[in-house]
Amino acid sequence: MNAASRHMRGAIVATLWLLASASMAHAHGGIAGPDELGPPVITSTMLGIACYWIVMLWPSRRPRNARRNGNNGNGKTARKTAR
């Protein structure tokens, strides 16, 4: 059996499963409309975007030994100031 026929058979089986599950869900009232799914999907999308940007924009922590080594945390040495 060659690869093309294997892929074709897999695609046919997947399509049949999809059609069977969608028709059973529709027959038993399992598929909700956009008026029922819209608000939860919009809310979860907005929460996901907000959490992503909070994590991306959260300030990074400086290394603990930055002050001891005369390093200011960005790889450059800090200037010594007279006290």
Domain ranges of the chain: 3-57
The pLDDT of residue 27 is above 60: no
Report the pLDDT value the prediction gives residue 36, as an integer from 0 to 100. 73
Q: How confident is the model at residue 17 (pLDDT cuts 50, 70, 90)?
A: confident
Task: Please check the confidence at residue 35 and state whether its pLDDT lies above 80.
Answer: no
- Mean pLDDT in residue range 48-57: 93
What does the DSSP 8-state code read for residue 20? H
Q: For a pLDDT cut of 90, what percent of the chain falls above it?
A: 20
Spatial CB neighbours of 22, under 8 Å, sequence gap ≥ 6: 31
Report whether 63 contacts 72 (CB < 8 A): no
Contact 71, 78 (CB under 8 A): yes
What integer is the mean pLDDT of 23-35?
64
pTM of the model: 0.39
